[in-house]
Amino acid sequence: MARENNREKRKPLGTDKRRPMKKKVSILISEGVDWIDYKDVNLLRRFVSERAKIRARRVTGNNTQQQRAVAKAIRLSREMGLLPYTVRQVTQRSKGGGGGRRDREGGGRDGGRDRELSADAVIPETTIHELPEGITMEGEETMEIVVERNPEALDYDPTDGTTSEEA
């Protein structure tokens, strides 16, 4: 009992009417770059996405040899510190709609305290008097160190390098 093949219902292979894709021209060819230098950060940034990922050949239009040279130069410039390995993305969520993200909007256990601020977030101005003890304006905790003076210790004057007994 062989299964029936419906060859009559299938499209013939040669009847695809879609227009063939135009091949993307590489930046290296259009600008006449012969040698890819790892120090040429402006050129290499064009082959890297916003998240610092190396773009694929089909996106850049490079051939295999060019793509290998670009990837090698990007890796070397990353190692030398000229290009970043990653770029930190600051995401901004809209307030409306929800979209099933209520648990992240501040209704969780921590009340939404660990959310990152967006770039255009407004931080309210506070005066020093309103801050709790031990907290600076930058949000860093400070600690008060009390040093008791030993009456038997010698007084050292750093300006002239003498002690109180020598003077």
Q: What is the mean pLDDT of residues 34-46?
A: 95
Q: Which residues pair with 141 in a beta bridge?
A: 135
Specify the CATH superfamily of domain 27-80: Ribosomal protein S18 (4.10.640.10)
> Minimal CA–CA distance to 41: which of 89, 88, 78, 86?
78
On whether the CB atoms of residues 130 and 137 are closer than 8 A, the answer is no
Cβ neighbours of residue 8 under 8 Å, at least 6 residues apart? none
Query: According to the model, what pLDDT value does residue 126 have?
Result: 47
pLDDT at 35 exceeding the cut of 90: yes
**Strand 156-157 with 162-163, pairing:** antiparallel
Block residue for tokens 């510190």: 81
pLDDT in tens, 71-122: 999 999 999 999 999 988 777 777 765 555 555 555 555 555 555 555 556 5
What average pLDDT is seen over the chain? 75
- Widest CA span of the chain, in angstroms? 116
> Minimal CA–CA distance to 83: which of 60, 59, 52?
52
Domain ranges of the chain: 27-80
pLDDT at 139 exceeding the cut of 80: no
